[in-house]
Structure 1
Amino acid sequence: MPLTELVHYFNKRNRLVRGTAEDEGFRIVDGRVQARFGGRVLGTLFQPVAERVGGLPVGHEAHLQVLEGEGRGLPAQAVFLDARDDDELIHLDRVARTLHALNFLLERAQQGGFLALNVHPQLIRAVRDHHGHVFESVLSRCGLTPDRIVLELTDDGFEDRARLAAAIGEYRERGYRVAIDNFGRHSSDLDRLEALAPDVVKLDRSLIGHAGHLSLAKRVLTEMSAEIHRLGLRVVCQCIENPLQRQVAQDAGVDWLQGHLIGRPVPHCLPIVQPRRPRAAA
């Protein structure tokens, strides 16, 4: 479906289902999709995630950007603090992910790469079941399938494990991949991690921050990566900002790297280089 028709469809659906105002919704400006919500104009930035060896991009994480209105220049997650109730927060979360999917659709360079999207923690608490069902219909309209998506969920280690595990299970049953974000900030409970059964674990920035300076922290990072691999999960080291941190992460054996040294959040994706197929024997 052409982009203009997609934007018209999503705007019409939101007005019918949510009763949103005429001045809210998606619009196309200079070849990019923007979303107007709560007096703000929101956009998308993409940050690459790269292989540990070779540094080639394998996918991108989408970040929300405040283009106009209150909060411009501040972390975009602060936008969610203005949600009046769970219903509005869930709607905003889905608007953000739809916005990112539409902009990802515009990127020719992303063929073959994944799109990582953050899911607000409150959505897991507020939505009882059928996780990923609504967004699956959004992806279908955009010509994307759940296997192209990595949904990032933050676990503080104190929430109801059963509910989070159930949500992850439902996402994975629909074909999404799931990442636990900021692992090691609040808890590094490997038994809990095994019970949650995600596909990817993104290590908290505090681990690599210390690992760049302290040999003890470097050893902890290496041992943690090995234990996570033992569970059959991929490991991402975030916030790589200097060559020393990159070397530490590479030595620790993580799978993927992310951070300003690898690539800052920008409006467009980096090209995804497909592995070459071996030539058939003559």
Structure 2
Amino acid sequence: MAGECRSNFLKDELGFYTTSYGPFVLRSAFQPIFSQTADGRLTIEAFEALIRANRNGQTVSPYQFFSKVDPDDAVTIDTLCRELHILNMGVLGRKKARLFINFNPALFDAVANIDAEIDRMVEITHRAGLNPSRIVCEITEQGSGDKAVLDKLVAGLRARLFKIAVDDFGADDSDIQRVTDLNPDILKFDAEWVRRFTETRPGMALLKQSVKQFIDRGITVLFEGLEEEHQITFCDEIGVQLMQGFALARPEIVPTSFGERFPELTREAEANGNIRLADAPPLEPSLGMPAESPGNGPGNAAPAAKPMRSFGRRTVAFGKRTQ
């Protein structure tokens, strides 16, 4: 299986990897995850990896693609997508940013040797020139039918120095228990849940209290799905450490434009006392956010120019979610 998957990786003219499944060509898209410096500048702390499928030159949505995957191939494709993203992160050349990749624990019920699967991921991570500590394994909301399998998966990932994130936290009893059981490094709040609670003052107060409680436990908090400037301002006010959403940057198929828009901090700049998040890569200065600046990769066709909106300390590209 390992040989079959790896033989499917092809390099394009820019050195980035693609792969395929049947008639589908698969590419990586990355969406930045940001923090803010004390003066409000955005800095890339990580990327979330997303799969982009193409069939006969036509874009296929992730939902359509995964609905066509044979159930017998689900584990193989799940692994293939993660390896594709890790390899492309290595080519991207960022020295500090982390990469968020998805794990559906339900699939691992069918994996006889979880340790072998994790060791394989360590190998592909080193092959990409990355340290496992820069890979954040995002445990999706789908539950595992066997808690022992999930515990073994998370323990194995941690033992190899991968970081753990819990996705789609919504403060239900089951969500709180999931956080207690997994004790993640990073907690991603469900976008719809956050949006609903930011509509009222009591809701905002509850979010602020929840964020503080998790930070006090040493868990980094991430709000995703941010589409409005007031949501970004609210994150700043309540101490949310990481932010993601279309109001900040849209996903781009590799190669992306993010290297030009958000270059990494030099060692000289680091030495001048820039702020750092606990247990996170050093912050980087932002150049500001140009309107919808696309990457050069396939599928990053330039949209109509949009004006930049200035919001006090920060200048960001602003856009509504369209997909």
Give TM-score scaled by structure 1 length: 0.81
Contact 2:104-2:142 within 8 A present in 1 as well:
no
Q: How does 1:81-120 map to 2 (within 5 A)?
A: 81-86=67-72, 88-108=73-93, 110-120=94-104
Q: Deviations along 1:221-241, whole A, 9 cap, x unmatched?
A: 112212222322111000111
Contact 1:157-1:186 within 8 A present in 2 as well:
no
Q: How does 1:180-259 map to 2 (within 5 A)?
A: 180-184=166-170, 187=173, 189-259=175-245
Corresponding residue of 1:40: 24
Contact 2:144-2:150 within 8 A present in 1 as well:
no
Contact 1:59-1:272 within 8 A present in 2 as well:
no
Q: Which amino acid aligns with 2:96?
A: G
| 1:64 equivalenced with 2:47 (yes/no) | no
Corresponding residue of 1:126: 110
The alpha carbon displacement at 1:121 in A equals 3.4
Moved more, 255-264 or 178-187: 178-187
| 1:272 equivalenced with 2:264 (yes/no) | yes
The SS at the match of 1:46 is: strand
Q: Deviations along 1:197-221, whole A, 9 cap, x unmatched?
A: 2111100011321244222221221
Q: Deviations along 1:39-79, whole A, 9 cap, x unmatched?
A: 101111111111144321111111101133598342x1543
The SS at the match of 2:133 is: helix
The alpha carbon displacement at 1:93 in A equals 1.1
Q: Deviations along 1:9-64, whole A, 9 cap, x unmatched?
A: xxx9533xx7x9xxx82222332321111210111111111114432111111110
The alpha carbon displacement at 1:138 in A equals 1.2
Query: 2 CA distance for matches of 1:252 and 1:71?
Result: 43
Question: Against the structure 1 CA distance between its residues 159 and 78, is the aligned structure 2 distance closer, same or farther, given a 3 Å change threshold?
Answer: farther
Query: 2 CA distance for matches of 1:224 and 1:156?
Result: 23
Contact 1:202-1:235 within 8 A present in 2 as well:
yes
Corresponding residue of 2:13: 30
Give the RMSD, CA atoms, in angstroms. Answer: 2.7
The alpha carbon displacement at 1:157 in A equals 6.6
**Match for residue 139 of structure 2 among 153, 177, 192:** 153
Aligned length: 259
Query: 1 CA distance for matches of 2:174 and 2:108?
Result: 21
The alpha carbon displacement at 1:80 in A equals 2.8
Q: Deviations along 1:161-204, whole A, 9 cap, x unmatched?
A: 44323311110110100101111176564343122121111000
Question: Against the structure 1 CA distance between its residues 217 and 69, is the aligned structure 2 distance closer, same or farther, given a 3 Å change threshold?
Answer: farther
Contact 1:178-1:198 within 8 A present in 2 as well:
yes
Question: Against the structure 1 CA distance between its residues 189 and 169, is the aligned structure 2 distance closer, same or farther, given a 3 Å change threshold?
Answer: same
Q: Which amino acid aligns with 1:272?
A: E
The SS at the match of 1:56 is: strand
Contact 2:99-2:134 within 8 A present in 1 as well:
yes
Question: Against the structure 1 CA distance between its residues 250 and 161, is the aligned structure 2 distance closer, same or farther, given a 3 Å change threshold?
Answer: farther
Query: 1 CA distance for matches of 2:27 and 2:167?
Result: 22
Q: Which amino acid aligns with 2:3?
A: N
Q: Deviations along 1:87-143, whole A, 9 cap, x unmatched?
A: x111111111121122212213x2211111112333332225315221111112222
Query: 1 CA distance for matches of 2:246 and 2:125?
Result: 29
The alpha carbon displacement at 1:85 in A equals 2.9
Query: 2 CA distance for matches of 1:166 and 1:29?
Result: 37
Contact 2:46-2:97 within 8 A present in 1 as well:
yes
Give TM-score scaled by structure 2 length: 0.72
Query: 2 CA distance for matches of 1:159 and 1:252?
Result: 36
